[in-house]
A and B are shown apart, each in its own frame.
Chain A
């Protein structure tokens, strides 16, 4: 089971957001993706989940089936005006057991309730999702990942608009996931969080600036270089002729 990217280039209107990226994520551990705005972090995750198609290269999710992957987008496009209860939303994570048509059943709802309990929201099961604060809602989405029992978990800036206490609780959940041997890949901005909870880091600025142990990656020289690369963007950039061979 490895998640790796091979010479991956993804572009918007010919301008690459992710440019000839190569490398592998460590299986069963937590990797943070950091980098300045516009560095291609979200683009990389979206390509991994198959929502964007690459211009060149590919992502391989060897050994992970579709049902084992959970993805939490930066801004969940969830229509919270719909009359759905918190428990029902968590139960949608059980789709790999129930399928699209099968019954969720008593066991399923017990699982969903346990997942809610793990994020500290047992009392909220029957409330409508419209009644939650953003922090509570993020907890619910983490509960859904728990219900999914995903082996590969992709999180895109999961702690935006979330208070310190919730961030701490959810980070502990991420720690627990890596202890259970799940692979977690998260886009983050807070270096302290990364240093404490993520043993591995990918520093991205359209291309890989550094990728490896967090202590070696998050050093001043690398971070400065990342900012320089990210700012280097031209309206009339020449055509890229880097050979697209897999490394």
Chain B
């Protein structure tokens, strides 16, 4: 027992950077988990991915203006993400293009612009940093950012929970009773962008989506009600964060990919054994009932 304690806890006691990283992971899990779950329920799982690419040019512009400054890059990334969400939303609403195609088109435009900016005004190391981040190097400022975003997201989600869920469940009903679903949808996309930007410094734009989507998708395999799913997604995200940090600490692996791979392993395992639609439980049939 003592040995396990030593292995699991002592890195966080001994090293301040590990403690920071852990707090960062907790905040990210609290914000991203629920957001990811709503993306899954709205059948928009790939939109998170699209948005993570979309923030790149904004972050690059922030970097060009102020160097490796978190506020500048975050603000830029947030602006670019919201702009892409807005344009994609407008295109969906006013043309015959469907939402997925519309998001694909605008994020690709944005990504190309971002790569262009980074390659003309930065070097590859900067690009790597933006794409993959480093949770072991989070400073106070980025910790405040992550915690602030998580708090705001949870509060905002609590407020828009019902219209958002109702719009996923039955959009025609919502329209028939005269509620404009588009407003809630847009507000939700802003939350998605905010959380991606929050995960930016610690995980990088690409890995931040992993913490958002993998635990949420896994949660659907474990729970039969939205409330329980929300809890499962947060717990899984935090668990992956904790485990990934330890892996990274002991085996000198990069932290971001370790965290996401761990979340991915949980997903793969759940595909097999999870009770709500996992592969194995479908084949193991108990005797049927009388009625």
Contacts and interface: CB of A to CB of B under 8 A. Distances in A.
Interface of A: 49-51, 66-67, 69-71, 73, 76-79, 82-85, 89, 92, 95-96, 100-101, 128
A101 B159 CA distance: 7
A92 B172 CA distance: 13
Contacts of A92: 166, 169-170, 173
B176 A71 contact: yes
Interface string B142-169: 0000000000000000010011011011
6 contacts: A78-B169, A78-B173, A82-B165, A89-B169, A95-B177, A95-B179
Interface residues of B, number: 23
Nearest to A84: B169
Given A100-B162, A100-B179, A82 B41 contact: yes
A67 B177 contact: yes
B176 A51 contact: yes
A50 B43 CA distance: 26
Given A73-B172, A92-B169, A83 B159 contact: no
Interface string B168-193: 11111101111100000000000000
Contacts, number: 62
Interface stretch (B50-58, B83-91, B224-232, B254-262): B224-232
Interface of B: 41, 43, 159, 162-163, 165-166, 168-173, 175-179, 223-226, 229
B162 A84 contact: no
Given A83-B229, A128-B224, A101 B162 contact: yes
A69 B177 CA distance: 7
Contacts of B170: 76-79, 89, 92
Given A67-B177, A100-B163, A83 B224 contact: yes
Given A71-B173, A76-B170, A92-B173, 8 more contacts: A50-B175, A51-B175, A78-B169, A78-B173, A83-B229, A84-B169, A92-B166, A92-B169
Nearest to B229: A83
Contact of B177 (A66, A77, A89): A66
Contacts of A79: 41, 43, 168-170
A96 B173 CA distance: 13
A82 B168 contact: yes
A70 B159 CA distance: 25
Contacts of B162: 100-101
A72 to B, nearest CB: 9
Contacts of A67: 177-178
Contacts of A100: 162-163, 166, 179
A96 B159 CA distance: 17
Contacts of B223: 83
Contacts of A101: 159, 162
A66 B171 CA distance: 16
Contacts of A95: 166, 177, 179
Q: Looking at A78, A79, A95, A100, which has the most chain B CB atoms within 10 Å of its CB?
A: A100
Nearest to A69: B176
A77 B178 contact: no
B260 to A, nearest CB: 26
A186 B195 CA distance: 46
Nearest to B228: A83
A77 to B, nearest CB: 5
B145 to A, nearest CB: 28
A66 B226 contact: no
Contacts of B175: 49-51
A71 B168 CA distance: 18
A160 to B, nearest CB: 16
Nearest to B178: A66
Nearest to A73: B172
A79 B178 CA distance: 20
B266 to A, nearest CB: 20
Nearest to A102: B162
